[in-house]
Structure 1
Amino acid sequence: MVKGLFEFLTLCVLVFTGRPTHASPLELNPPRVVVRYGDSVSVNCRTSATDHGGMGWEATFGGTGLEQDVNIVTWTVDNLTDWTIEPKCYINLIDGEQPVKVLPVILYKTPDSVSISVLRHSGPMVEGTEYQLQCDIQNIAPLRNLVVKWYKGNEPLDNVTYSNVSKTPVDVSPTLMIIPSRDDDGAQYRCRAELDLGPEGPQPPLVMTSEPLDFTVFYPPTFSRPEAETLDIRVGEEMTLNCTAAGRPTPLYIWQSSHVQDALFTPPSKLPGTYTCTASNLIGKISKTFTVNPKPKGSSRTFYAIIGSVLALALALIVIAYFVYKQRADPNSTI
């Protein structure tokens, strides 16, 4: 039964293929190639068949024609520029078969340029607003081996890959959406085009990086101490109220009703009260209140009177302590 099943399967192979199956007598070395556009390439095709009617290479460039009495033929091209080339090594066997082996060829080209820009925007950015970055990569192949990487400084942000099987050079412009914050002010963004061509390709993978895009981010003022402040001031003394705020562009300051454009303000010592500071720039504004309370200034006579009273009390305590000590040391003594 097993023999009959084997004969049936063999018959099926012969019916559908017209010939029995067997291992290919051809071997390519190397089995696949990765070539830079315009470079040379050379591949050997060897046969294990001892008796054949000739072998050769068929290709748009570098074909050899049929060669007799050889067991190896070489495909060579000095300047490979055909993006779609598919070299085929073939052999004519005595039984009339012609096995063929196709050489996989990856022809690559690094990009002419890689640049980064902000779409539909120029000048400083505004905190909390969405922007679209674009990476323009010119004239690169093959696209399916391209990986585009986005960076903020040295921090990786995103990777973009392609499934397009086109072998010829193309232009691509991947994008990245961002919403900058004040922490992005002064940051540098860049994109990198990386051709990963596998183990047969250049190692490490070929890389071209854009020039950095410097970020300027505008944001509204914020106080380092946003809460209202209450302070005491003696008549005749000076006090400086600090209304410093962080913002970009640099904030301007207005105190109460006077147009004092400064973060520090010294109010008149004889005019305690409430002072309001407003810090503003192109993006927004914020206010803070200072309440200054009067505090009576003590006289020098009062000061010396207090000091004298303290000294007199201390002396009296010392005298009392002395007589108590003497009394306990000699009970029969008299004062």
Structure 2
Amino acid sequence: MIVIIFSCLILYAAKPASTSCPLEITPNFVLVPFGGSISAVCKSLSSQLKGMGWESSFGGTGLVKGVSNLTLKIDSLQSWHVSPICFVNLNGSQCTKDLPVTVYNAPTFSQPTNETLTLQVGSQMSLDCSASGNPLPEYSWKMPYTSKVLTETQSVFNSSFKHPGPYECTAANSQGTITKRFTITQAPRPRRTLALMLGLFVGLAVMLCILGYFFVTPQGTFSSKKQSYTPGSATSAPV
């Protein structure tokens, strides 16, 4: 008999304590746009409570005594991350329950909507189409030199500049789609380069004139032994 009682005591001591919390939150999760409002009610299912409250960076209430249900109210949520927690103080213990919150938003660009760039051919081209949003946006690009749409996970397109024209970027998620346009024009060649090329052409022309003066005969043939010649005068002939 003593052995049976002792065994029962061991089994009771080894039984894990209940991990359930007598709290009920309605709704049990929230989907809200950035800047939107939240309203959720936390209700205690136990009558042995001393107080309850909401812990939250927005709309938190702290401990409130003498109530069995409490409302979390946020008029305008200005954060992408918020984790409200409802808690209840029971006799000698406290339990909590989380309210999952997902903040979503359509994509918005971090830079001006449209841009115009002037680049030299062969220079590095970097087009920034960065956008914020939740879920994270996906990007696609339309190029002036192809009809194919390039799908990218990166928000910045880097390439060597070869083709002027319109480059169009689209950022999209489940909440919306926005488009940004880059107009790329080709910069004129620097004046120094043009002057250098003109100088080379002039120098080549002068050199050809000099060579013609010394090595082209009056008959229009080329000779490295050109003699002086006066029109109408006799030329020397071998005897």
TM-score by length of 1: 0.40
Structure 1 segment 271-286 matched on structure 2, within 5 A: none
Q: Which amino acid aligns with 2:157?
A: T
The verdict on how the C-alpha distance between 1:118 and 1:132 changes in structure 2, with shifts beyond 3 A counting, is farther
CA contact (8 A) 2:87 2:97 kept: yes
User: 1:106: Cα distance to partner?
Assistant: 4.1
Deviations 1:289-310 (A, max 9, x none): xxxxxxxxxxxxxxxxxxxxxx
| Structure 1 CA distance for aligned equivalents of residues 138 and 13 of structure 2 | 50
User: 1:149: Cα distance to partner?
Assistant: 0.5
| Matched residue, 1:98 | 94
| Matched residue, 2:85 | 88
| Structure 2 CA distance for aligned equivalents of residues 118 and 75 of structure 1 | 48
Alpha-carbon RMSD across the aligned residues, in angstroms, is: 4.1
SS at match of 2:20: coil
User: 1:155: Cα distance to partner?
Assistant: 4.2
Give the one of 208, 214, 229 matched to 2:178: 208
The verdict on how the C-alpha distance between 1:41 and 1:215 changes in structure 2, with shifts beyond 3 A counting, is same
| Structure 2 CA distance for aligned equivalents of residues 9 and 157 of structure 1 | 65
User: 1:50: Cα distance to partner?
Assistant: 4.6
Structure 1 segment 16-95 matched on structure 2, within 5 A: 20-64=17-61, 65-70=63-68, 72-82=69-79, 85-94=82-91
| Structure 2 CA distance for aligned equivalents of residues 44 and 155 of structure 1 | 51
User: 1:9: Cα distance to partner?
Assistant: 9.7
CA contact (8 A) 2:34 2:104 kept: yes
User: 1:89: Cα distance to partner?
Assistant: 0.3
Question: Percent identity over the alignment?
Answer: 27
Structure 1: 5+ residue stretches without partners: 14-19, 162-172, 196-203, 218-335
Between Structure 1 and Structure 2, whose CA radius of gyration is higher? 1
Give the one of 193, 196, 200 matched to 2:171: 193
| Structure 2 CA distance for aligned equivalents of residues 26 and 93 of structure 1 | 11
Deviations 1:67-98 (A, max 9, x none): 4242x32100212235554321001223x221
| Structure 2 CA distance for aligned equivalents of residues 178 and 34 of structure 1 | 43
Give the one of 126, 131, 142 matched to 1:152: 142
TM-score by length of 2: 0.53
Provide the aligned length of Structure 1 versus Structure 2.
173
User: 1:42: Cα distance to partner?
Assistant: 1.1
The verdict on how the C-alpha distance between 1:31 and 1:174 changes in structure 2, with shifts beyond 3 A counting, is farther
CA contact (8 A) 1:25 1:47 kept: yes
CA contact (8 A) 2:35 2:76 kept: yes
User: 1:108: Cα distance to partner?
Assistant: 5.4
The verdict on how the C-alpha distance between 1:31 and 1:176 changes in structure 2, with shifts beyond 3 A counting, is farther
CA contact (8 A) 2:115 2:183 kept: no
Structure 2: 5+ residue stretches without partners: 1-6, 187-239
Q: Which amino acid aligns with 1:208?
A: I
CA contact (8 A) 1:135 1:175 kept: yes
User: 1:113: Cα distance to partner?
Assistant: 4.7
Structure 1 segment 1-335 matched on structure 2, within 5 A: 7=11, 10=14, 20-64=17-61, 65-70=63-68, 72-82=69-79, 85-94=82-91, 96-107=92-103, 110-111=107-108, 113=110, 115=113, 122=119, 132-137=125-130, 140=132, 145-152=135-142, 155-160=148-153, 174-177=156-159, 188-195=166-173, 204-211=174-181, 213-214=182-183
| Matched residue, 1:323 | none
The verdict on how the C-alpha distance between 1:47 and 1:177 changes in structure 2, with shifts beyond 3 A counting, is farther
The verdict on how the C-alpha distance between 1:214 and 1:45 changes in structure 2, with shifts beyond 3 A counting, is same
Q: Which amino acid aligns with 1:44?
A: V
CA contact (8 A) 2:54 2:60 kept: yes
SS at match of 1:81: coil
User: 1:36: Cα distance to partner?
Assistant: 3.5
